[in-house]
Amino acid sequence: MWNRKIVVDDKAIGAGTTLTLKQSLLPCALVTSLFFLWGFAYGLLDVLNSHFQAALNISPSMASGLSSAYFGAYFICPLTISGWILRRYGFRVTFMSGLAILAVGCLLFWPSGVKRSFGGFCGSMFVVGAGLSTLETGADNFLSICGPPKYSEIRLNFAQGFNGIGTFAAPLLASRVFFAKTVDTSAGLANVQWVYLGVAGFVLLLIPLFYLAPMPEVTDADMSMQEVEIEHEDVGPLRKQYNLFLSIWAEFMYVAAQANMLALGQGLYTVNRFGAAAMMMWPRTKPRLMLAVYLAFSFIFALAATLTTGKASIAMLILVLCAESLLFPTIFTLGLRGLGRHTKLGGSFLVSSVSGGAVGPPICGAVADRWGFHTAMAVPAACYAAAYVYPVYINTVKRKMMDSHRETNLNVTEATAIDVKTLEVEKGGDFEMDVQKVEKRSVHQTEVEA
C-alpha cells in the first residue's frame, strides 16, 4: 500500500477508459468531494476577504486587484504547471499537488494578516487560485472521461452541483459562526487568520487520502483508443480541433457573464444544476440541444432584465440563474468530445477559460458607473450572445459526432476490449501500444464484472 506507484506514463495504456458504470462510481464519488471542497473554500474566501478588506481599509478599486489575482491564477496555471503535472504524472499527483498548493495559499494569509499587507493578501489569493485551478484541471477532466462516455455530461453536472452546495453553505457558516460577534474589527481579522489556518489543516489531511484511495488513471493513449472505437478514425492534430477552440470561447464568455450574477441566488443555481443532470439521464435527451436552449434563455432573460425595472427585473435575473446552471459543465464535456489523445491538454485550456471572471465584472462595473445598473446588464447579455456560436456549431457541423458519443453503449454494463491494431499510431511510436497489455486489461475487467 505504501509503495503505491503514483506516476503514470501518459503514452501507455491504462484501465481508466474501460471502467463500467458500476466500477466508476467510487472514484467519481471521491473526486466529487473535491467539488464541494473548493466550492466551500471559494464561498468562504469571498466572506473572509470582505472582512480582510474592511480591516485593512482596502478601497473598491484595490479589491478588484484581489479578484484579478485569483482569476489570474486560473489563466496561468492550467496552461502551464497544472496542465503539465496532469499530462506528465496523471490525476492522482494532480489532485495531491492542488491540495498542497491550496494549503500553502491558506497558510500565507496568516503572515499577510499579521503584517496587514495588501500585497501579501494578493499573493495569497494568487496561490489559493493556483491550488483551486490545479484541482479543477484534474477533477473536470477526470469526471468527463472516467466511465461510460455517454454519461460524461451527467457526471460533471452532478458534481458541479456539490460545488454550488459548498459555495452556498460557506457564507452562512461564516456569518453565523466565525463572525457572529466580531464584524470589521481587529478581532474579526484574527478570526480570518484562524479560519484560513483551519482550512489549510483540513486540506492537508486530504492529501494522504488521495494517495491511498483507488484512483484509475486515464492516459492520452486510452482516450485515443476510445475515440477510434466510437468514431473509427484518428482525431487529427490539435490545430484542427475546432470544437475545442469554440468551446473555450463559449466557456470564457459564459464565465465573464456569470461572474456578474452568481452571488444573487447561489441556492437556486445549485438546485437547477442537479435538475439538469436528472434531465440528461433520460436517454432521448441530447446535451447539445439542452445547451442551445439554456444559453438562449440566458440571453433572453438577461436582456429582459436590462429592459425592465423593479420586481420584474429581479425576476428576470432569477431566471437567468436558472438558465445558466448547466452551461459550464455541459460546455466543458462537449468541448472534450472527439479530442482523443488531446483530451488532457484540451481540458487544461477549458479550465483556463475560467479567467473570463476577471474580465466581465470590471466591464460591467464601468458601464454601471456611467449608465446605471440596468444598462450594465447588457454586458452579460452580450457575453451570452457571443457564446452562442458554440451551440450553433455543435448542432450543425458537429451534430453527428456529438450524437455518436451520446448514443454509444461503450462500457455501460461491461468493459469493451479495444482492438489496438485498428488504431493508427503516429510515426516514431507516439504511444506504447502493447497488445498483450490490452488483452490482460480486458481479462481483468471481465473478472471484476463477474
CATH class belonging to 16-407: mainly alpha
Question: What cell numbers appear for 286 in the block?
Answer: 441530447
Please tell me what DSSP assigns to residue 415.
P
12 beta partners? 432
Greater confidence, 190 or 101? Answer: 101
Q: Which residues contact 63 (CB under 8 A, 6 or more apart)?
A: 49, 53
H/E element, 150: none
pLDDT of 365-403, one tens digit each?
A: 788 778 877 788 888 899 999 999 999 999 999 999 999
H/E element, 175: none
Residue 333 pLDDT level (bands cut at 50, 70, 90): very high
pLDDT of 252-301, one tens digit each?
A: 998 888 766 555 566 777 888 888 889 998 888 899 999 999 999 999 99
Assess whether pLDDT exceeds 80 at residue 47. no
Cα 170 to chain centroid, rounded: 19
Query: DSSP per residue over 188-241, as a string?
Result: HHHHHHHHHHHHHHHHHHHHHHHHHS------HHHHHHHHHHHHSS----GGG-
Specify the residue for cell string 458504470.
21
- How many Cα neighbours within 13 Å face the side chain of 116? 7
If you average pLDDT over every residue of the chain, what do you get?
80
Please tell me what DSSP assigns to residue 432.
B
Nearest Cα residue to 437 out of 418, 409, 415, 412? 418
pLDDT of 52-96, one tens digit each?
A: 666 677 665 566 667 778 888 999 999 999 999 998 888 999 999
Assess whether pLDDT exceeds 50 at residue 432. no
Alpha helix locations (H) across 116-176?
118-145, 152-173
Assess whether pLDDT exceeds 70 at residue 440. no
Assess whether pLDDT exceeds 90 at residue 414. no
**HEC sequence for 28-89:** HHHHHHHHHHHHHHHHHHHHHHHHHHHHHCCCHHHHHHHHHHHHHHHHHCCCCHHHHHHHHH
Find the helix packing angle between 60-76 and 343-352, rounded to 10°: 170
Residue 428 pLDDT level (bands cut at 50, 70, 90): very low
Q: Which residues contact 108 (CB under 8 A, 6 or more apart)?
A: 120, 123, 124, 127
Please tell me what DSSP assigns to residue 146.
S
Query: DSSP per residue over 430-450, as a string?
Result: -SB--HHHHHHHHHHHHHHH-
